[in-house]
Amino acid sequence: MRKWAVIYSSVTGNTKKIAEAIAEAAESVDIFRVQEAPADLSSYDIVAIGYWLRLGQPDALTLKYLAQVENAKVVFFQTHGAAPDSEHAITAFARAGYNLGAGCEILGTFGCMGKINPEMIARRKAAGADDPHGGKEAHERWERAASHPDEQDLAAAQELVGRMEHKLDLREKYLARQAAKMAEC
């Protein structure tokens, strides 16, 4: 297996749980809070970067760090109060990728719901029905998110490691075949 760096930002513990699940599944891994993550990632084959969402994008600490990440194979993982397949969640992956430094390749993504910071819920409860973060639908979403990440989310995060390893194995085999074909010409 390849050497992984797992880097995360977490306030409520959601993203930390996912980071730990990913790290547990990787055979060779170093795990860092984003505040302590190395600037030089050249000794890692895969860099998994996890964050919570703020205003539809990675939190401020992660955004600052992403700009420093260069020439890396990156896997994003995120936790949020929205459905994992929502436009909000998908757009956040794009925003994370946009903020990466030069020469990076995004190998894959993983997202799951996570319990929302109680302070945020208290502020949102005062929002009117026309506020996208208020109303009955939001309250139902907050209740669904409160039980995440759950065991199924953690297992899926661990499966991500195998999928990314397999993806790189297939690519290496393909590139070796292409190089052999070019050598025959």
**Half-sphere exposure in the Cβ direction for 36 (13 Å, CA):** 6
Sole residue written with tokens 């390749």: 105
Q: What are the CA-CA distances from residue 97 to residues 46, 82, 160, 168 (Å)?
A: 15, 19, 18, 19
Decide if 84 contacts 145 (C-beta within 8 A): no
pLDDT value for 127: 66
Tokens of 4: 């992984």
pLDDT digits (tens, 9 = 90+) for 58-110: 999 999 999 999 999 999 999 988 888 889 899 999 999 999 999 999 999 99
- When comparing pLDDT for 77 and 148, which is higher? 77
pLDDT digits (tens, 9 = 90+) for 18-67: 999 999 999 999 999 999 999 999 999 999 999 999 888 999 999 999 99
Cis peptide, bond prior to residue 149, ω within 30 of zero: yes
Q: Which residues pair with 7 in a beta bridge?
A: 32, 49
